[in-house]
A and B are shown apart, each in its own frame.
Chain A
């Protein structure tokens, strides 16, 4: 089944799905923005962004705003492609039934 093949395991979690959705329509998002929008804990966001970073679907930039450290996330080209495939696959699966 080719459709099932396109369902991407990397997105198979509510938080990761949310992170990718946010980064698809925004140039970037910082840690707090993701936390607020997704209503998740620090640790939760940290671990899910790390796993998305590992497969190179998102890019992480650490910088300082004044004296505060700030972490900025953006979706990579690969991440955007894979996420589009994932959404298409989801839609096809739903359409089938």
Chain B
């Protein structure tokens, strides 16, 4: 009859170890939605670029490029903000349901370790733009985002590590296909997030 008690002890040990060191309430559904937003954003951006390319007059094409930069930036920012808001809200509800706090030591640590490579990458991309190495901005965003995921994975669900590695690989491959950055973005931020989100949803969320 003692073995029941020992079994309880072991599960308590496992539970405490994971609860105290990893933030377990990341929502898989928010991953799926982030991917969907990215795909919609990529589609809109693709249309804008396509319109410019189709324009026969060189002068008009030049002027359109100027206007397009603003709308591309707005699309990118909206995708990011939407994904962040959705992620925060869904994670909040999931944490509440499982009795975990959304803002505790483990989530702070997760966020810090995710943000560090991401902020460095963001600044680095700004430098790339400064020196007009625009071509490798898209691969660089993918690579740094992937590194951020790998770095954060130690403090949350295991799947994040594989998401990160996949996105790093996509980023590296895309360096060899300059000019197709948007497609690699759609693949990395869109498709990968949807696949990852669904796997996490079926593994952790459904209960």
- Within the complex, which residue of A14, A22, A94 is in contact with B17, where a contact is CB–CB below 8 Å? A22
- Contact between chains at B20 and A22 (CB < 8 Å): yes
Tell me the chain B residues, 63-111 only, with Cβ under 8 Å from chain A.
101, 104-105
B3 is an interface residue with CB less than 8 A from chain A = yes
A38 to B6, CA, bound (A): 18
A87 to B13, CA, bound (A): 9
Closest to A13 in B: B9
Whole-angstrom distance between the Cβ of A20 and the nearest chain B Cβ? 8
Residues of chain B at interface, number, CB under 8 A: 18
B132 is an interface residue with CB less than 8 A from chain A = no
B112 is an interface residue with CB less than 8 A from chain A = no
Closest to A97 in B: B3
- Contact between chains at A33 and B10 (CB < 8 Å): no
SS of B interface (majority): helix
Per-residue interface assignment for chain A, residues 39 to 55, with 1 indicating a CB less than 8 Å from any chain B CB and 0 otherwise: 00000000000000000
A29 to B14, CA, bound (A): 17
Residues on the B chain within 8 Å of A18, using CB:
12, 16
Closest to A25 in B: B21
Residues of B bordering A, CB below 8 Å: 2-3, 6-7, 9-10, 12-17, 19-21, 101, 104-105
- Contact between chains at A94 and B21 (CB < 8 Å): no
Whole-angstrom distance between the Cβ of A3 and the nearest chain B Cβ? 11
Whole-angstrom distance between the Cβ of B155 and the nearest chain A Cβ? 11
A91 to B3, CA, bound (A): 10
Whole-angstrom distance between the Cβ of A6 and the nearest chain B Cβ? 12
A18 to B8, CA, bound (A): 12
- Contact between chains at B20 and A37 (CB < 8 Å): yes
Whole-angstrom distance between the Cβ of B180 and the nearest chain A Cβ? 43
A14 to B156, CA, bound (A): 25
Known A36-B101, A36-B104; contact A94-B10, beta-carbon cutoff 8 A: yes
Residues on the B chain within 8 Å of A37, using CB:
16, 19-20
- Contact between chains at A94 and B101 (CB < 8 Å): no
Per-residue interface assignment for chain A, residues 12 to 42, with 1 indicating a CB less than 8 Å from any chain B CB and 0 otherwise: 0010011001101110010001001110000
A70 to B101, CA, bound (A): 21
